[in-house]
Chain A
Amino acid sequence: MPHTGQCLCGQVRLTVDGEPLGARSCWCRDCQRIASGSATVNVLFPEEAVHYEGEISTIRMTADSGNTVERGFCPQCGAQLYSKTIEPAGMPMRVRAGTLDDPELMAPSATIFVDSAPAWAVMDTTLPRYSRGLDSPLLEESA
């Protein structure tokens, strides 16, 4: 069975004919703007498995990682749909968990860009927490 999803207003629909490769929460500053002050929660899929129907607006930006990313959102309701890396190529596509019909399809297994999280952020300390991207230093388990 494919995984399905939609934006807030239903104008954009999503079908994924593949299984998630992982899921993580991202506290980079751009993501906090995207996620209304929270971390984005992203379910990773191979890009070729993800199919959208409907009108999508896109914007390309240089992310805090230094990568060039394309972020997609619904032009009608503003719901954030995905982020994909244009350069370097070959990285999994990040589908925003809230757009999946089953937002609990996969629980986050790591937290990234913890350095830029607000002081009030609550994180699961049993998961690996990276100061920035996945190649950055891990935070020590809290005592």
Chain B
Amino acid sequence: MTAPYSGSCNCGAVTVTISAEPVWVRQCWCGQCQKAAAGSATNNALFATDAMTVNGDVAWKGYTAASGNTVEQGFCPSCGTPIFGRNSSRPSSWVVRLGFLDGDHDLKPTTAIWLEEAPEWAMIDPALEQFTRQPPPPPQAP
């Protein structure tokens, strides 16, 4: 399945539709993500915010990451389902948590990051591109 994508939290209070393809889909094993993701990695699809329509209230909470950037988690205040992540270094795009998206989309992580913080028992697909910490930023446009 391709765009548009739709998503819903566990209680249905927040729904999102997205009219574009993601820039990337990554799995993150940093310690903060393990707290946000009930012990596993977060799985994140980066979308341009201008392609998103959000219905319902989203609660946000931020912290300063090791990079110095402000990272904020967006979640449903009624059921706690993680929905978004945003990073001050990427003001025009947010990640959407893969579990939030409905049904039969074909999106899947192609990269796993922050593996140095993954638990011993973590199962990581060897076919994924892997980084011990943050991947380098994409090359600048000429």
Give A residues with C-beta under 8 Å from B: 7-9, 25, 30-42, 57, 59, 61, 71, 73-80, 96-99, 103-104, 107-108, 118-120, 122-124
- B33–A108 touching, CB < 8 Å: no
| Cα-based distance from A79 to B34 in the complex (angstroms) | 9
- Decide yes or no: A78 and B40 within 8 Å by CB, A37-B97, A57-B77 being known contacts: no
A8 touches B35 (CB 8 A): yes
Residues in chain B near residue A104, CB distance under 8 A? 119-121
Closest-by-CB residue of B relative to A38 is: B40
Q: Which residue of B lies closest to A7 (CB)?
A: B35
A to B CB contacts below 8 Å, 11 in the list: A8-B32, A33-B9, A34-B10, A35-B39, A35-B99, A37-B97, A38-B38, A71-B80, A97-B34, A103-B39, A118-B98
When C-beta atoms are compared, the residue in chain A nearest to B124 turns out to be A122
**Knowing A33-B99, A37-B99, A103-B39 touch, does A124 contact B82 (C-beta < 8 A)?**
no
Contact mask for chain B residues 69-81; partner A; CB cutoff 8 A; 1 contact, 0 none: 0000111111111
- A36→B98 contact, CB < 8 A: yes
In this complex, what residue of B is CB-closest to A57?
A: B80
Asked if B111 lies at the interface with its beta carbon under 8 angstroms from chain A, I say no
Known: A37-B44, A57-B77, A79-B36. 18 other contacts (CB 8 A): A31-B38, A35-B38, A36-B97, A36-B98, A36-B100, A37-B98, A38-B99, A41-B40, A59-B78, A71-B79, A75-B59, A77-B73, A96-B39, A97-B119, A98-B37, A98-B39, A107-B119, A124-B123
